[in-house]
Copies of this chain bind each other. A is one copy, B any other.
Amino acid sequence: MYGTRRQRRRSVSRERILAAVRSLLEEGTFHETTVGEVAERAGVSRATLYGHFGSRLALVDAICESFNANPALVALRETDDLDLWLERVVDFWSSEEKVLVQLYGAAAVDPAARNLVERQTRDRYGELRKLLGALGRDDGDALAALAVLSSFETYLELRRRLGSSKRQVAAILQRQARALLAR
């Protein structure tokens, strides 16, 4: 254990609040839930919640930042094979699917969510440029094609609408990537 008892106690409260937010996001009801109800679910007073997070937006912000610690996201950055990279992209999307649906679906409304989408998209473009460069393909069309292919929206479409499994989605993406890169 790290820190004094006080610090631990404090961080327990913080984590309980974040867990409540996360569970509400997963249930798809966070955006209709008041701050008071979030506090109640966390088993914490509203005052405590505001002591940790100054506003409602800060709650979403904290959830977004928590993705930086997601192992699937970390693994992603160290991958230099396109097929493997696509697999790991799928791993990441699926590891946070329910939460990301809510955040991507609120990007026009919530600055924190908008920020997340923006950052993740930029990162993905950077990695794709690197991967394509290694393949000797730095044309914009290939980049565009793969950017769309590896997007959360594409993942979601394949997963939800067509009911494919995680593995199937990865396989579809890999096959399509090959088709799109062939010329």
Contact with B along A76-98 (1 / 0, CB 8 A): 00000000000000000000000
A174 CB to nearest chain B CB (Å): 12
Since A144-B162, A153-B154 are in contact, a sample of 19 more A-B pairs with Cβ atoms closer than 8 Å, ordered by chain A residue number, is A31-B109, A103-B108, A105-B105, A105-B108, A106-B106, A106-B109, A109-B109, A125-B161, A141-B172, A144-B157, A144-B158, A144-B164, A144-B172, A147-B161, A148-B148, A148-B149, A148-B154, A153-B153, A179-B182
Q: Does A132 contact B (CB under 8 A)?
A: no
Assembly CA distance A164 to B105 (angstroms): 24
Q: Does A121 contact B (CB under 8 A)?
A: yes
- Of the residues B31, B141, B148, B162, contact of A108 by C-beta under 8 Å: B31
Secondary structure call for the A interface:
helix
Is there contact, CB below 8 Å, between B162 and A140? yes
Interface size on A, residues (CB 8 A): 37
Interface residues of chain A, those whose CB is within 8 Å of chain B, are 28, 31, 101-110, 114, 121, 125, 140-141, 143-145, 147-149, 151, 153-154, 157-158, 161-162, 164, 172, 175-176, 179-180, 182
Assembly CA distance A106 to B153 (angstroms): 14
